[in-house]
Every structure is written in structure tokens, then in C-alpha cells.
Amino acid sequence: MKFRTLAVLGLGISLPALLIVPGSGATASVGTAAGQGRERPAYVAKKYLEQKLTWKPCGEAELRTYCAKVKAPRDWWSAAAPEEIELAVSKVAPKKGKPSRVVFGNPGGPGGAGLGMAPYLASQPALAKNHLAVGFDPRGTGDSTNVSCDGAPGYSMDARDRDRDNLDLIAEASGLVQPYCETQSRGLLPYVNTAQTVQDMDLIRRLLGFDQVDYVGYSGGTWLGAYYQTYFPEHVGRFVLDSNTDFTRSWLNTFEAQPQAFERRFREDFAPWAAKYDQQLKLGRTPRQVIRMYEKLRADLKEQPAVEEFLDGSIKISYDQNTLDNLVVGDLYTKQDFTSLAIDLAFFRDLAEAQREGGPRAAQRKVDALSPARQQQLVSRAQRGTVGLPAIGATRPFADDAEDATFTAVTCNDSVWPQGREYGDLISAQQGPKYPLLGWGMNENPCFYWARPQLTTPTPDGKGLPPTLMVQSVNDPATNVSLARSAHSRYAGSRLVTVTDEGDHGIYGGVNKCADKVVNTFLTTGKAPAADVTCKGEGIPAPSAPDPGEYTGSAPLHRIAGFTRSVSGYLH
């Protein structure tokens, strides 16, 4: 789940007229704004069901992953129309025997590329024996047909600046996003939404030949999973929703809860941890001192940004208050990143002090004194999420901003948002003083200016479904624990596994042994807990060097991203 602002691009989802989807008890309606509106027969065109998939090895041989392209209609409610898209799908079969079940996965976003979910799920012992593990890049992103908002203005202004001229700039930038997205996306933009994506998922299920789907969805993937359950209840197997949006309400509710959650993670987890290890990290002896250090550094970088050259001048990076905020927020998702965040904060503080005392040349000398490896690390972290996945084996015809454009399209298309600048300015003024890390930026949102397709989707309620297992840490920054509790209270048959003394975003797969045991039992046997479960967190480890392994470490979403980088780009 990404934090809701276009100031940072990345690291943390259209429906036509009254149609009963094949095998679904759900109905959906949409007006003609997206070129949809006529009733359609409840069928999937024969050409899509009879397409032959060509599976190719993708990634290192040890991953045993195969990838293919699936053709799907651009608009599922106009399946006879000639416009088509392609969906990239990955799979990993058990080492021995034929799989008896299939498990799909989604890493969230919404808009996260998901090919790496197949090797990631196959690496879980509980799933490796009997499950065919499947990942896919949702429409709009990754190796699937892309959308793009290339050229749209970003938010280079300081969100904390409440000057009228600055608020005008934020509003103007927000209102310009959709025109760029529409121009760059060649007609696909209105159809990048959850209702269309779940139809894509079910087509993949049918092509793979399974009647039921098991599922592991993280973050924005919990929204996608709940909607799949709603549209295709008879094909629902064992669903695990980890780090939850409130999929029973709108995207607005989910994003309004983020500033409090990020502030809590920063003040209750990172700052006390940094203070505990002050002798090593030197950020402050108390949590308050750590927070004051961040605020002073932010003020210094706003007054005089540090513009530095890296790697013999080949790359130039400007560090200002927004760069700092993005760094902090991006590293709060997992405690695995706390050490890197602490080291970088100390470096930027020293950089700002050198510049203040000796000018830009003094600051540049500090950069020049770093090893090439450290410089490359800083460059990679500065670029994190701002470019697409690196090319592997071939030139990839992808939009660099496809994940972010998909994130914007899904969140703006799926839900009704208050229109105009008034609400955004109001909520940012309310949340900013209480939660300054993220609250001031609540008005930096194109959805307040988005001409949304006129559509209505069913509200997930869990009725008539098998048990759904929800997993949530209490200090999750991207998906506030209040969201999981809210959705759980309205989602029939759900069981909530709450991990206390923990704040990682993405739990299943190595963060907490107790939670993993509950999830693995559910995925392998179908047995859900009789009641909600509470697991105790395992604490934040002492500072240590970052794990250099591509698929190792304790953070599931980091490992999934590593797998995705390895298996992407082989289908062109």
C-alpha cells in the first residue's frame, strides 16, 4: 500500500450496465461515461477461453518459474469489441506430482507488479507441496499492457506551506494529472480498476483449469482479494488478506487513516529504537531528540537544499525537505529498513551541516569521500520507486511510471471522491498539525479532481463465503490497524490475526512465527481459527548491516520485489 501522495512514486486497485458476471452472485452497473452502458450477456468470449498459452522460462533456473501472456478484453463488459490487452502471468509448479490446488498472490499497491508472487509463494513450505503458485501483473502495470501519466506535474512544493499561492499550485498540479494520464494511456485508463481486474483474475483461473482459487494478498491486494470474493464467491478457496485496507468502504477512508499510522510508526517504533542505540547511531539519546533532529534537518534542507553529484558526476541528486520526507516514510514499512534510515539520516544531517558551515563545495567533498559502493547505494535509494523495473534480457516497452499510474487510476476510478480543492485543503489542515510527517500532504491528490467513470460496484460483505483470514500488525504505517478492525467488523466469517508490538507492513512469510503458523494451517488444511487470534511481536533487532540477498531477509514485500525483478522482462 503506497502512501497517498504523488510526491513519492512508489516504495506498500469499470463497470458497465447491470451485468451478472458468469458464475457470480454480484451485480454491477455503470453509466455511459466510459463508453459502457448496454446490458451484456453473461459469458466470456470463446476466443479468450480457447487461447493457447506459450509458457517460457523466466528468471534464474533455480526459481523454476514460467511466464506467459494472456489476452483479455480491454473492457469486460464489451467483450466483443476489438480492443484487447495483454496480461503477464507467472507460475511455479510443485517439484513432484501434480498440484491439487492453485494459489494466486498480489503484492498490493494497488498497481504493484506481481510476477514475483509465484516464486515467492512457491518458496513457502506450506504451499510448495500441493499448490500451483501463480502471480500476475495487473492490467496497467509491469509486463502487462501499461498505463502512464508521463509528463504530469509532481508535487515539488512543501506540503506544510499554507500560503495561498502554494495551495493554488498544489490544486493546479492535482487537476492536471488526469489529462496527462488519458493522453499517455491510449484509451485504457477508464478500464484500469478493480472490477475489471477481478475479471482478468478469473480468466486466468479458468485457463489454468482450476475450479477454486486460494489467495494471499498484501496491502492493496486485500482490496483486490475481497472484491474477487464478492464477484466470484463459488470459486473462493482459502483467502489470506494481510495488512488490510478497509475494503468495505471507499479508498478515501483508507487513505485518511494513513497520516496517523505513519506518525505512530515513526514516533513509537523508529524514534525509541534509534534512541536506544544512540551510542551507535548518534541521532539522539531520547525519542524526542530523534524527532527534533529530523525536524531541524528538514528545516535546514528546505532553507538550503543540498545538490550533490554522485559517481564521478554522472548523477546529480537534490536533497530538500521532500526528499527527506520521502526517505523517512519509505523506510517505515519494515523494521528491516530502520538501520539504513538511521545511517542516511546521520549522513544528511552531516551533509547539511557541512553545507551550512562551508558551502556547497564542503558538502560535495563529503560525498566524494564516500566509497563508490556507498554512493551507488544512496543513488539507488534516491531513485527507489521513481523508475520502472530494470530491463532484463531485452528492451522492455514499459512506461517508467506504470505502477504509479495504475495506482492513481485504480484508486481514483474505483471510489467516489469529494470533488474540488475544498475537502483536500480542509483535511490537510486538520491532519497536518497532529501528524506532520504525512498529514499536511493530504491535499496532494488527483482523485479530488478526477472525472470518474459513472459506475457502481458491490460492497464486499463476506456473506456466503468460506472463512477469510485477515492478518494485521498494530503499528502498520501504510494500512492503519483501525482499517482491519473496521473491515473485520463488517466482513462476515472473517477471522483477524492481530500482531501486537509489531509495525511491519506485510506479515506472512517470516515476520512473526505465531502468525505464520496460523496462516500456514489455514492454507494447508482450510481450518480457520475458531475465534480471532492475537500474536505477540518479536521486537526490533539491533542495528545491523542490510541483508544483501535478493530474496532473503525478514520483509515479505522486499522479497517479492526481488523475485519480481528477477522474473520480469522475459516476454518481449
pLDDT averaged over 10-residue windows placed end to end, the chain, 572 residues:
44 25 32 35 78 96 98 88 92 96 97 98 96 98 97 94 97 97 96 96 98 98 98 97 98 97 98 98 98 97 95 92 95 96 96 94 94 91 48 42 96 96 97 97 97 92 98 98 98 98 98 98 97 97 80 88 96 83
278 and 239 in one domain? no
- Tell me how far apart the alpha carbons of residues 220 and 1 are, in angstroms, rounded to a whole number: 5
What pLDDT shows up at residue 545?
79
* Edge-to-edge strand list for the sheet holding 19-20: 19-20, 27-30, 455-456
Question: Does the global pTM surpass 0.85?
Answer: yes
Q: Which residues contact 540 (CB under 8 A, 6 or more apart)?
A: 269, 273, 335, 338
- Tell me how far apart the alpha carbons of residues 102 and 205 are, in angstroms, rounded to a whole number: 8
Kindly tell me the sign of the dihedral angle through the C-alpha atoms of 415, 421, 427, 433.
positive
- Domain edge (last residue) among 333, 360, 383: 383
Question: Which residue, 83, 64, 66, is CA-closest to 74?
Answer: 83
What pLDDT shows up at residue 42?
55
Look at the block and give the residue holding cell 509495525: 503
501 and 361 in one domain? no
- Domain edge (last residue) among 340, 362, 383: 383
On the CB side of 291, CA atoms within 13 Å amount to 16
What pLDDT shows up at residue 310?
95
Amino acid (one-letter) located at 105: G
273 and 246 in one domain? no
> Which domain, by its residues, includes 245?
47-147+188-250+455-567
SS3 103: strand
- Domain edge (last residue) among 355, 383, 411: 383
Give a yes or no: residue 140 inside a domain. Answer: yes
236 and 296 in one domain? no
What pLDDT shows up at residue 554?
80
- Tell me how far apart the alpha carbons of residues 333 and 240 are, in angstroms, rounded to a whole number: 20
Question: Which residue, 223, 204, 213, 232, is CA-closest to 26?
Answer: 232
290 and 362 in one domain? yes
- Tell me how far apart the alpha carbons of residues 561 and 177 are, in angstroms, rounded to a whole number: 27
Give a yes or no: residue 280 inside a domain. Answer: yes
469 and 538 in one domain? yes
What pLDDT shows up at residue 3?
60
Give a yes or no: residue 483 inside a domain. Answer: yes
100 and 215 in one domain? yes
CATH of the domain at 192: 3.40.50.1820
Number of domains in the chain: 2
What pLDDT shows up at residue 548?
66
371 and 234 in one domain? no
- Tell me how far apart the alpha carbons of residues 57 and 104 are, in angstroms, rounded to a whole number: 19
CA angle 444, 2, 306 (to 5 degrees): 65
Give a yes or no: residue 325 inside a domain. Answer: yes
Give a yes or no: residue 539 inside a domain. Answer: yes
What pLDDT shows up at residue 389?
24
Give a yes or no: residue 410 inside a domain. Answer: no
Amino acid (one-letter) located at 6: L
306 and 203 in one domain? no
369 and 282 in one domain? yes
- Tell me how far apart the alpha carbons of residues 18 and 77 are, in angstroms, rounded to a whole number: 10
Give a yes or no: residue 306 inside a domain. Answer: yes
474 and 330 in one domain? no
Give a yes or no: residue 505 inside a domain. Answer: yes
218 and 83 in one domain? yes
- Tell me how far apart the alpha carbons of residues 127 and 135 are, in angstroms, rounded to a whole number: 14
- Tell me how far apart the alpha carbons of residues 344 and 111 are, in angstroms, rounded to a whole number: 28
